[in-house]
Chain A
Amino acid sequence: MSTTATSPVPGPGKSGQGKSGQATPQPDTNHKPAQSGKPVTWKLPVTLAVLAVVAFIFFGLLGPQGSAKFGVSSGGDFFQLPAIEVPAFLSGIVLSVILLVLAGYALALKANRNRRPPRWLPAVFTVIFVVAFLIWVVGGARTPSISLAGLIAGSVTLAVPIVFGSLSGVLCERAGVVNIAIEGQLLGGAFTAALVASLTHNPYAGLLAAAVAGALVSMVLALFSIKYVVNQIIVGVVLNVLVSGLTGFLFSTVMQSDKAKYNSPGRLPIIDIPVLSGIPVIGPILFKQSVVGYLMYVAVIVIWIGLFKTKWGLRVRAVGEHPQAADTLGIKVNATRFWNVTLGGAVAGIGGSFFTLVAIDSFTKEISGGRGFIALAAMILGRWNPIGAFFAALLFGFADNLQSIVTIIGTPVPSQFMAMLPYVVTVFAVAGLVGRSRPPAADGIPYVKG
């Protein structure tokens, strides 16, 4: 029974209640206290070091001998850049040595001055690691050549629903409501978009209906978790099943009975902004998108500004961090939560319309295919910040896209492991191995006055 006191578990009080990475200063018996009061752990430097050694062995020493070719320009660009061809072995060695230096720097900072590495370090490390990985994969492939422009454009496209889903998560959880129902919101949006667009012959009506459907799913979440104080995780899990059952049922009965009438929504047009879309690499991803794609950029920026630069955002975050205090100041806690969750659902619903109005022009069962859970992961990896979630979603879209490319060009890495990557990275993130991921303090706790 007394083993808690003696066991080498970092911060026994913290682990006992599972408050993942709470910022409350915990006396850390293992390490010297840091200057700032927050404990500086070995986790990040050690993780970086392990990754760097892995990179050095696999991408460097065991790297492929050939060269990897990356096409930069696509046919439609208004000026052409030559393809980049790099020697795989040499660049593998060089990049992994840089990784080793970065990891060494982080270790030295921790060992000598007990300081955490600067904020740019993990980001730079990630980018270099991904580049080294890419060169290793392509260099070792049967056809060592891929279009970088296509890879990046495809990644952004695949990331669109994930970005919307993670924004929904951010909106809900910043206000203190856990949103496991992102998958259901995406699926509901996808189904409704297909149905309404088919009936009205207008994909824009479908887009609007998707937002409404997502909001409706969210309202159920809000109603049960706020009014009836049902555990939010339960409601989320059950809502996913409910939406999956409802859409599956209506798909089999209604949509299958008359496909032309109920399930042929037509696609949203791709809006090509002249000249700008011809810029190599970034042109197609920024200026050659569907409405949903442009809305994604708008939503990320608007939600970021809204949450961090406006009075509304301050209130939302106050409700998510310390509802009692917010209530004392006259903020209606539960109303704020209700409308935030609803708004989040609408955002996710729009993301769901991507499946049926942009990617494919019809609905099938389970078309969202677990992307709602990847979105949840992106939100966590992005530390409950819209911009962070956006880049995390891009990373996952990249992994998703690379997975299909890897299958085509034929490489030693099984595609299933690429598919696994987002989930593994997220486990590392919540376990605190790659930085701290701290949810809003009141996340998941119902608020009852008095």
Chain B
Amino acid sequence: MQPSAVPATAQSGSLPGGPDESESLLRRIFTGNGIVTILAVLLALILGGLLIAMTDKVVASTAGYLFARPGDFFAAVWSAATSSYVALFQGAIFNPRGTGVAGQFAPLMETLTIATPLITAGLGVALAFRAGLFNIGAQGQIIMAGILASWVGFALHLPIGLHLLLVLVAGVIGGAVWGGIVGVLKARTGAHEVIVTIMFNYIALYFLRYLLDTKLFQRPGETTPISPILDPSAVYPLLFGSQYRLHLGFLLAIAATVFVSWLLNRSTIGFEFRAVGANPKAALTAGINVPRATVLVMTIAGGLAGLAGVAQVAGTEKVLTDGVAATYGFDAITVALLGRSSPWGTFAAGLLFGAFRAGAVQMQIQTGTPIDIVLVVQSLIVLFIAAPPLVRAIFGLNPRKKQAATAGKTKQAVTTGGAA
């Protein structure tokens, strides 16, 4: 439970606050990490494909005469896996059978819509990572933001513009406070943020369930736990008309990415965050107020997750239910890990996982492959990315193996050194 051990390995490869941010995208792709990322995604997709094929009925029947006609078996495996992935792609990016250009690009719009909360919540997790903190609590922060934002949205009736602004502010404050408390507990008492955030997720969830059971939040005349619909003045405007669900929240997600990028790389506070993340003892010696940085980073992280909560209630759902956070808070962790905790990496990872989510719905309808396969692929990607030597070994990239081993050694030295 030593948080000082977190940052060096948390970002698995890229050193915290390293110069990779300023490097060009192209150069990063051709460094080892870029290749490992691509191979990890590939490997996870292959394993997911095998899992799909394993449970496929045609594959099972051809396996019966595998030795008589092995061609049938492998063809069945190939078609089972690829048909699912083709459906996934059509549901996520581009559907050639859609009506008109608008229909063909509808999947892409859906991907961006789902990516919106993933990106902002992922940024919250990534920012905390950079300061050496493990923010498992995006789920709870989204919920608290959803509670406050939706209440402002349906209980208050304000003029257009002001109303939405208040919804936004309320949501961000909700998330920021819920994250900030964790920071305060950590700074004041040393309570480990992983444990506290996990517990806070559940506390927020039960609090939400309680509220949806009260007159204050439950829709009049409803027996199910659901809030009234938010006022039209309190919801995000749609970006491309009513045919898509894509809303203003996506632009705010881009803005949030720019903000976090600036915060980490250009501001004094961001420098302090990274210094604390790299080595809290050295940061303390250098005169950085570590407790203050801890509270501040958790507050901002919570605020970012809160933005995801606002995107849910004021953008996609327009009501508050106990499923407001879905699994966005947990997915945000994998998004941040895949993005290697850099702002734009998180943005890209959020888009990728958003595509998986959007495509999986279509895949389930078309091929009957359950949506859960996305969870498997997603978690495998992160596992592989976290262990570059494993990926290199699997793909037989032997020359890199030695380098990886030495790189691993130095990384471990950093880890144990920071903790000792």
User: B-contacting residues of A (Cβ < 8 Å)?
Assistant: 1-4, 7, 9-22, 173, 178, 180, 220, 224, 228-231, 233-235, 237-239, 241-242, 244-246, 248-250, 252-254, 370, 373, 376-377, 380, 414, 416-417, 419-420, 423-424, 426-427, 430-433, 439, 442-448
Contacts and interface: CB of A to CB of B under 8 A. Distances in A.
Of the candidates A10, A380, A416, the one having the most CB atoms from chain B within 10 angstroms of its own CB is: A416
Interface in B358-414: 369-370, 372-376, 378-380, 382-383, 386-387, 389-390, 408-409, 411-413
A308 B124 CA distance: 42
Contacts of A430: 185, 189, 191-192, 195-196
B386 A224 contact: yes
A427 B191 contact: yes
B1 A12 contact: no
Contact of B188 (A2, A10, A443): A10
Contacts of B12: 230-231, 234
Given A17-B4, A245-B375, A416-B213, 13 more contacts: A9-B291, A18-B193, A20-B192, A178-B1, A228-B389, A234-B386, A252-B370, A417-B206, A420-B202, A424-B199, A431-B189, A443-B1, A443-B2
B412 A448 contact: yes
B287 A1 contact: yes
A178 B412 CA distance: 17
A13 B284 contact: yes
Contacts of B200: 423, 427
A148 to B, nearest CB: 26
Given A234-B10, A370-B202, A417-B210, A20 B375 contact: no
B59 to A, nearest CB: 12
B333 interface: yes
Contact of B5 (A370, A431, A446): A446
A237 B415 contact: no
A235 B379 CA distance: 9
B51 interface: yes
B224 to A, nearest CB: 16
Give the interface size class of chain B: 35 or more
B291 A7 contact: yes
Contacts of B203: 420, 423-424, 427
Given A427-B185, A448-B416, A228 B379 contact: no
B199 A426 contact: yes
A229 B190 contact: no
Per DSSP, chain A at the interface is helix
Contact of A16 (B207, B284, B375): B284
Best-surrounded residue of B10, B188, B369 (most CB of chain A within 10 A): B188
B16 to A, nearest CB: 12
A442 B382 CA distance: 25
Interface of B: 1-6, 9-10, 12, 51, 55, 134, 136, 185-196, 198-200, 202-203, 206-207, 209-210, 213, 280-281, 284, 287-292, 294, 330, 333-334, 337, 369-370, 372-376, 378-380, 382-383, 386-387, 389-390, 408-409, 411-413, 415-416, 419
A267 B287 CA distance: 62
A46 to B, nearest CB: 13
B383 A224 contact: yes
A443 B192 CA distance: 12
4 nearest A-B pairs in the assembled complex, by CB-CB distance: A245-B375, A248-B372, A252-B370, A416-B210
A64 B134 CA distance: 45
A354 B194 CA distance: 27
Nearest to A438: B1
Nearest to B409: A448
Contact of A249 (B51, B190, B334): B51
B399 to A, nearest CB: 19
A18 to B, nearest CB: 5
Given A373-B202, A416-B213, A20 B4 contact: no
Contacts of B413: 448
Given A3-B292, A230-B386, A445-B5, A18 B192 contact: yes
A424 B411 CA distance: 36
A445 B2 contact: yes
The interface centre, meaning the residue of B1, B4, B190, B281 with most chain A CB atoms within 10 A of its CB, is B1
26 contacts: A4-B290, A10-B189, A16-B281, A18-B190, A19-B190, A20-B1, A21-B190, A178-B1, A230-B12, A230-B387, A238-B334, A242-B376, A242-B380, A245-B376, A248-B370, A249-B372, A373-B202, A376-B198, A416-B207, A416-B210, A420-B203, A427-B191, A430-B185, A430-B196, A444-B2, A447-B416
Contacts of B337: 234, 238
B195 A380 contact: yes
A336 B301 CA distance: 37
Given A231-B5, A416-B209, A244 B375 contact: yes
B105 to A, nearest CB: 29
Nearest to B184: A431
Given A376-B198, A427-B199, A414 B187 contact: no
Contacts of B288: 1
A290 to B, nearest CB: 28
Given A15-B291, A20-B192, A228-B389, A241 B379 contact: yes
Nearest to B11: A231
Contact of A238 (B294, B379, B389): B379
A373 B330 CA distance: 14
Contacts of B416: 445-448
A432 to B, nearest CB: 5
Contact of B379 (A4, A9, A229, A239): A239
Given A424-B203, A427-B196, A250 B190 contact: no
A2 B287 contact: yes
B372 A252 contact: yes
Contacts of B186: 15, 18
A94 B188 CA distance: 36
Nearest to A183: B198
Contacts of A439: 1, 192
A3 B12 CA distance: 33
Nearest to B6: A231
B382 A16 contact: no
Contact of A231 (B9, B185, B187, B195): B9
A254 B57 CA distance: 10
B398 to A, nearest CB: 17
A231 to B, nearest CB: 4
Nearest to B181: A427
A419 B202 CA distance: 9
Instruction: Kindly name the residue among B281, B333, B376 whose own CB sees the greatest number of chain A CB atoms within 10 A.
Output: B376
B383 A235 contact: yes
Given A1-B287, A2-B287, A444-B5, A14 B190 contact: yes
B134 A233 contact: yes
Contacts of B408: 228-229
A192 to B, nearest CB: 16
A254 B55 contact: yes
A235 B192 CA distance: 17
Contacts of A444: 1-2, 5
A126 to B, nearest CB: 18
Given A241-B330, A252-B372, A444-B5, A20 B190 contact: yes
Contacts of A254: 55
A443 B4 CA distance: 12
Contacts of A22: 190
Contacts of B281: 16-17
Nearest to B283: A16
Contacts of B192: 18, 20, 430, 439
A382 B412 CA distance: 31
Contacts of A3: 289, 292
A20 B190 CA distance: 4
Contacts of B9: 229-231, 234, 446
A419 B288 CA distance: 40
Contacts of B185: 427, 430-431
